[in-house]
Amino acid sequence: MKLWVTPSGDKWLCDECQPEFDEQIKQESWRVAFEKFEPMLRCVHCKHGDVEILD
């Protein structure tokens, strides 16, 4: 999961959703603040986490 710094605020995006935002990332010059693997983080677009928690 990557934290993107955007003009409208920071957004967490998973690697699966990032291609859907590629055009917007280029147009608005988004930048990656950092990448983190944390089960509690959720993608702003799909609402899923990067890490699957198995019970």
For the chain, the domains span 1-55
pLDDT at 49: 85
Segments of the chain with pLDDT less than 50? none
Whole-prediction pTM value? 0.83
- CA pseudo-torsion sign 2, 19, 24, 49: negative
SS3 32: strand
